[in-house]
Amino acid sequence: MAKTLGIVGARGHVGADLIRLIAGHPEFELAFVSSRELDGQRLADHIPEYAAKNPDLRYSSPAHEQLPALGADAVVLALPNGKAAACVAAFDAVGAEPVIVDLSADYRFDDHWYYGLPELTRGDYHGQRRISNPGCYASAMQLAIAPLLNVLEGAVQCFGVSGYSGAGTTPSDKNDPDKLRDNLMPYALTGHLHEREVTRHLGHPVEFMPHVAPHFRGLTVTSNLHLSRRFEREELVEHYHRHYDGEPMVRVLDEAPWVSRIAGRHHVEIGGFSVSEDGRRVVVVSTLDNLLKGAATQALQNLNLAFGLDELTGIDAHPRP
C-alpha cells in the first residue's frame, strides 16, 4: 500500500520539483498539498505530471493545528526559514508522529533531528522520524570537503555562485532577472547560514562567500583547502574516487564541472582538481542543482530511507542531459 505524503508550502520552486518526483514514485502518493495563494486550484493545472496519479487533487490551506488530522504518513515542510516550528508544534500537541522532513534551516542545528545528507550521514539514521534536509550550498561544500577532512589545516574558503531560484519566489533583488542581467551579486559574505551549517556538521571551520548569478537553477562552489601533507594530483583524484565511486549520486570528474550541465539533474559533480606546487593546497569544484540534489531530490532520498525503501526509488540517478 502506498505511503501518503503531505507538502506544506507547495507553491515554491522546491515544492513543485518534489511534486514532480512524487508523481513518478511507485510507493508514494500525495495526501495534500498546501498553498494559501493556490487554495482550491487543481494541482494538475499547475503541475501536469501529477494528473496521472490524481487529476482531482487540489491545493488546500489548512491551519497548522489541522495538519495532524490530514493523516499523512510523512509531511514535508517546504517553508521559509523560521516557519517550521509552528507546524511541528501542532503534531507534538496531539502526539502525532508522522515522518517530518523540514527543508528549511530551522532544525539543522538540533541534535534531536537527523541531519539528512545521506552520502555522509546515512550511518547516523536509526529510524528517526524528524529529518532536517541540508542546505543546497551546504551539501555541495560538505561533499567537496569531506574526503580531505582528516588532513585539513586551517579554515576552508568556499566561493559560491547560485542561480536565482535559490532566493525563492518572494520578490527581491536576488531573484530579479533585470537586476541580475550581466551581473554577479554578492551577499552575506561573512556568517552566512550555510557557513555555520557546514562548520558545525564537518567539525571544521569553513569561510563561505556566496553570489547570485542570472541563471535560474544550479550552483557551483570552488573550495580552497590547505593540507597537512603533500598530495600529487593523481593521488588526489584517486582519493576522491575511492571515497565516492560507490555513491551513484556523486560523480567525480577530472575536469571542472559546469553549472549548465548539472541543471535539471539529480546528482553532484566534483572535479577540477588543482594542486599547488608544494602539494599542500588543493582547489576542488562541486556543482549541483540547488532545487534537486540541493533540496527536493535529497528530501526524496531521506523519505525513501525513512520508509525502508531503496534510497534511489523514484530518482533517476543517471538522467540523460
Known catalytic residues?
136
Q: Using the 8-state DSSP alphabet, how is residue 175 labeled?
A: G
Task: Report the distance separating Cα 197 and Cα 135, nearest Å.
Answer: 8
Q: Kindly tell me the burial class for residue 255, based on how many C-beta atoms sit within 10 Å of its own C-beta (0-12, 13-18, 19 or more).
A: exposed
114's enclosing H/E stretch is strand 114-115
Say which residue the cell 523519505 belongs to. 303
Residues 78 and 12 sit within 8 Å (Cβ to Cβ): yes
Upper half-sphere CA count for residue 230 (Cβ side, 13 Å): 4
Q: Transcribe 143-170 into DSSP letters.
A: HHHGGGGGGB-SPEEEEEEE-GGGG-SS
Strands 74-77 and 3-8: parallel
Closest CA to 254 of 225, 285, 223: 285
